[in-house]
Structure formats: structure tokens, C-alpha cells
Amino acid sequence: MKGNHMAKKTTPKTSTPAIKGRFAKLDREWCVAFPSDVKLSVGSVVAVVTAEGVEKQVKINATPVVLFDVKRETVSAEMFYTFDRIAK
């Protein structure tokens, strides 16, 4: 399984640790998801990790949305932001 290999990999330590988001698709929109305690604003440039483990930079272009599970009456622990890709 791919999931087992992901846990064993470590990233090099940097002087400023950063939380990396992940790509997620909500309805027809691609978003980046971050834990809800991470506060980002429109225009923030953030690191996102692809499913293949590649880090990319994106620019947040709107305020976040959160998912509400109607059946369980719970709110997701992640915030979802739409973004603009940053060309290399």
C-alpha cells in the first residue's frame, strides 16, 4: 500500500517549519485543504503536497469554506481554499 510508505518518509528540517496543505476537490472546484487552526488570508502563498509527494506553491484567492456533515451534524476539521497556480 502506498499509505505505509508515506509515513516512513521524513522531510528535512528547516529553520521555519511550515504546515503543508493538500489538494482536494469540492464539487467541481479544486481547493487546498488545511487544518482549521491554520489561518490564511487571500493572497497568501502556501506550500501544497500532491498525491505523489511533490511540493508545489499556490496562491490563495478566496476566503475558506468548511464542510458540514448534515447527517452527523459535525463540521470538518479542515478549511478549504480555492487557489491560483504559481508557474515556475
| CA distance to 34, 67, 72, 88, per residue, from 19 (Å) | 8, 20, 28, 21
- In order along its 88 residues, the chain shows pLDDT tens digits of 444 444 444 444 444 456 788 888 888 889 999 999 998 999 999 999 888 888 999 999 999 999 999 999 999 999 999 999 987 6
Q: Which three cell numbers stand for residue 46?
A: 502556501
- pTM, full prediction: 0.70
